[in-house]
Amino acid sequence: MSVNNVKTISIFGSTGSIGRSTLDLIAHNPEIFSVKVLTAGKNYKLLAEQAVKFKAEAVVIADERYAEALKDLLKDTSIDVSAGAAALLDVATLRVDLSVAAIVGFAGLEPVLRSIEYSKAVALANKEPLVAAGDLIMAAAAKSGCKILPTDSEHNAIFQVFEPQNREQISRLILTASGGPFRSWSKADIDAATPEQAVKHPNWSMGAKISVDSASLMNKALEVIEAHHLFAMPADKIDVVVHPQSIIHSFVEYKDGSVLAQLGVPDMRTPIAYCLAWPQRMESCGERLDVLQLSALDFEPVRDDVFPSIKWAYQALAQGQGACLTLNAANEIAVEAFLKHDISFSKIYDVVDAMLNKHAEGALSGLDDVIALDKKVRNAARVFINN
């Protein structure tokens, strides 16, 4: 089936891994999309190239230091160029059929909230805002009528087989985890792992932060909280299983014993294509799954003794939104320090554990509370690392 009408689309974080995969799909289906807005953090050169190629109406570079260089590259075009956090919020008010939330980290929270107000649908890859402020995001979507399209591969898989009319008959959501590059390593080797080893994911090609999160299984911890918000499922109905081949992207178990799953090669273009075309389907330029080439589909439990992250996600969910925010903020700071070789891999867990013990307040009443607690935890995590 083809997509009938041209969709207007804005991509927040177009220069990243998800952003580039999204534009790849659009390049293969130019007749069905019209790009309005593209944004980046620092990479002004790629942003300018993308803007020209996809005839964007407006671009924003979040880091204002690159504003002049970006303006210079686009001076012979009619593309509107702006810079800074406020500009990101401004372009999110341009009405579009679909906004793709592909910024990494909590930095995407306010653009996501603004996009929810002005877009018909938001393809949400940027999971950290949902972890930190899921109640706020889901309430904003309910208020504006914006459809949230889960883009993370596991949640996209669930979305594809989740029968809303039978939600009461769902007994469990089962998220699959590849186990990351350290799945079978000893604890001693994991503790001493380098950033170069951590970002080498066995199956997926992703940005640096999520790659480290996959190695620590923090990515799966964030995804448990993400699933709780996206599907309004209590924590005790969300399970995780390690599936090293990353072919089955997640399961939904119904009370009659049926277990529905979505399969595909580990390529983000498949779930992104689902979101781009939703509620229809479109051609994807990604590799196809050849079931005859599959030698095995293996499953194993998570090694909670070595990877404590997932256990912490359940504890945080039991405590409330403040604890989930704390888990995320502490992890963002720790991963940043690890990637700069400032701390060891095992220290990521120490930072998160210390912050959860210190700052895990329960309820948060609004955006100001969320921003204030995020700032407080980040500062405390930096102090902890420096000491």
Give the residue with the Cβ less far from ligand NDP, 35 or 358: 35
**Residue 35: strand, helix, or coil:** strand
CA distance 315 to 311: 6
Compute φ and ψ for 25, nearest 5 degrees: -65, -40
User: At closest approach, how far in Å is the CB of 144 from ligand NDP?
Assistant: 22
371 Cβ partners below 8 Å, 6+ apart? Answer: none
User: At closest approach, how far in Å is the CB of 60 from ligand NDP?
Assistant: 8
User: At closest approach, how far in Å is the CB of 70 from ligand NDP?
Assistant: 11
Give the residue with the Cβ less far from ligand NDP, 132 or 343: 132
Tell me the two tokens of residue 226.
């993400």
- List the beta bridge partners of residue 34: 8
User: Which residues bind to ligand NDP, rule: CB under 6 A?
Assistant: 13-19, 40-43, 62, 102-104, 107, 125-128, 152, 204, 206-207, 209-210, 268
User: At closest approach, how far in Å is the CB of 211 from ligand NDP?
Assistant: 8
Sheet holding 147-150, edge to edge: 80-83, 58-61, 33-40, 7-12, 96-101, 119-124, 147-150
User: At closest approach, how far in Å is the CB of 199 from ligand NDP?
Assistant: 11
Tell me the two tokens of residue 308.
């404590």
Give the residue with the Cβ less far from ligand NDP, 52 or 189: 52
Give the residue with the Cβ less far from ligand NDP, 191 or 195: 195
User: At closest approach, how far in Å is the CB of 103 from ligand NDP?
Assistant: 4
CA distance 222 to 324: 9
User: At closest approach, how far in Å is the CB of 47 from ligand NDP?
Assistant: 7
Tell me the two tokens of residue 62.
């979040």
Give the residue with the Cβ less far from ligand NDP, 45 or 347: 45
Give the residue with the Cβ less far from ligand NDP, 289 or 354: 289
Tell me the two tokens of residue 300.
């194993």
Shortest-Cβ-distance residue relative to ligand NDP: 16
User: At closest approach, how far in Å is the CB of 128 from ligand NDP?
Assistant: 5
User: At closest approach, how far in Å is the CB of 381 from ligand NDP?
Assistant: 17
Give the residue with the Cβ less far from ligand NDP, 145 or 159: 159
DSSP class per residue in 311-361: HHHHHHHHH-HHHHHHHHHHHHHHHHHHHTTSS-HHHHHHHHHHHHHHH--
User: At closest approach, how far in Å is the CB of 104 from ligand NDP?
Assistant: 4
**Residue 47: strand, helix, or coil:** helix
Determine contact, residues 18/39, Cβ cutoff 8 Å.
Answer: no
DSSP class per residue in 138-199: HHHHHHHTPEEEE-SHHHHHHHHH--GGGGGGEEEEEEEE---TTTT--HHHHHT--HHHHT
Give the residue with the Cβ less far from ligand NDP, 195 or 207: 207
- Pairing state between β 7-12 and 119-124: unpaired
Neighbours of 289 (CB within 10 A): 14
Give the residue with the Cβ less far from ligand NDP, 59 or 62: 62
Type of residue at 322: G
Give the residue with the Cβ less far from ligand NDP, 118 or 254: 118
